[in-house]
Structure 1
């Protein structure tokens, strides 16, 4: 799981840097957005749960890994478009891996089951939310994509499997495989929630005079 976590934060930092490049940021901005994308979810989770020290403070190499990944993305940007599908796959794996890690933190702290599931989902999605906010975009999880809902379902499944006596390692593998598969199917088959527009709020009554 630790190796998968390192791969995930590297990929998330590079994806965050790519979004920053599209918004015209300099290298400092790319490093900031990349680090926030990769480490933001775990930071929000730890602050909400009072879990200290923060992961990137106790393991400062995570910061250097994300900064290096962001700078690498800037250096090889012209070629990254050919790796888009790979990034989507790594992002899907990262989403589920982060969710499991967040659930484990909740389990260690002994919080209630709903909070454990929320801790997993927050770890999985909040980094991307912070990235989008810094880049002045509507966060992906607030749009039509099946993203946060998959993280919530993965966290709930992970907790249920352990409640049924499945070992943590086996539960992790099951959740990784099923969560990754569902996320990739959602991308391929364009499974989406309904998106509301201004027309949906129009009552048709017109203005009052």
Structure 2
């Protein structure tokens, strides 16, 4: 049964990411005037939704939050504390972006770890990382009735793929896991924040259906 070693850098980053995603969900819920229970519920879904979907797709049981219910307490508790302290945050948009980026990058790495330890092929490892990193944010945005960041914002899924590829290169090489985890984290966070700052985006498909050929002359 897969679990992160309690002394690994990724384990501690994962705890931070759970809290960060719970907080990002609370900020999103606040914009929709949700009640306190809804905020905590959304925090748990955002923090644990990606990992849950990954485990269901890979047949990996027990689900991570079933095995460790403390993860529910951490993500829901972080969302609840955000209700109390949100008014002290001067720039909520910046806080939301940073918190979401932390969750995206760290959960991508944990998703890659799960698939790799199940002896999955490299493409499945990368997809597992992307699902873990992105799905929680998509669920958050859908439940808040907004178009998910994944589909409308600066490089998002691309950041997850690049992070996963970079992180997975260490699996087949004899590289210090702790150092490589930190390097991957820095790379992923930097790429996501640079994409937001410079508005790097993937090409968009713009088709309205109005481009009909004129009558033959």
TM-score by length of 2: 0.86
Match of 1:43 in 2: 52
Tell me the distance in 2 between the aligned counterparts of 1:102 and 1:79.
33
Alignment pair present for 1:202 and 2:193: no
| TM-score scaled by length of structure 1 | 0.89
For 1:133 and 1:166, locate their aligned partners in 2 and report how far apart those are by CA, in whole Å.
39
CA-CA distance at 1:27 after TM superposition? 1.3
1:9 to 2, 9, 18: 18
Which structure features the higher share of helix residues? Answer: 1
- Deviations 1:93-122 (Å, cap 9, x if unpaired)? 332111111111001111111000111111
Q: Secondary structure at the match of 2:18?
A: helix
Q: 1:115 aligns with which of 105, 112, 124?
A: 124
Between the aligned partners of 2:102 and 2:39, the Cα distance in structure 1 is 23
Secondary structure in 1 matching 2:171: helix
User: Which is further off, 122-131 or 171-180?
Assistant: 171-180
**Aligned residue among 166, 170, 186 for 2:179:** 170
Distance 1:80 1:43 in 2: 30
Q: Are 1:142 and 2:151 an aligned pair? A: yes
How much does 1:86 deviate? 4.4
Match of residue 190 from structure 1: 199
Compared CA separation, residues 81 and 41, structure 1 to 2 (3 A): farther
Counterpart in the other structure of 1:85? 94
CA distance in 2, matches of 1:27, 1:189: 35
Can you give the 5+ residue segments of structure 2 that lack an aligned partner in the other structure? 1-9
Give the 3-state SS of the residue equivalent to 2:91 in structure 1: helix
Give unmatched runs, 5+ long, in structure 1: none
Partner of 2:188: 179
Picking from 73, 90, 101, the partner of 2:110 is 101
- 8 Å CA contact 2:105–2:188 kept in 1: the answer is yes
Following the alignment from structure 2 to structure 1, what is the Cα–Cα distance between the partners of residues 183 and 55?
Answer: 25
Query: What is the root-mean-square deviation of aligned Cα atoms in Å?
Result: 2.0
Distance 1:146 1:32 in 2: 27
Give 1:122-161 correspondences, 5 Å limit. Answer: 122-161=131-170
For the 8 Å contact 1:162–1:171, the answer to whether it is kept is no
Deviation at 1:197, TM superposition (A): 4.5
What SS does the aligned partner of 2:134 have?
Answer: helix
Q: Distance in 1 between matches of 2:118 and 2:74?
A: 27
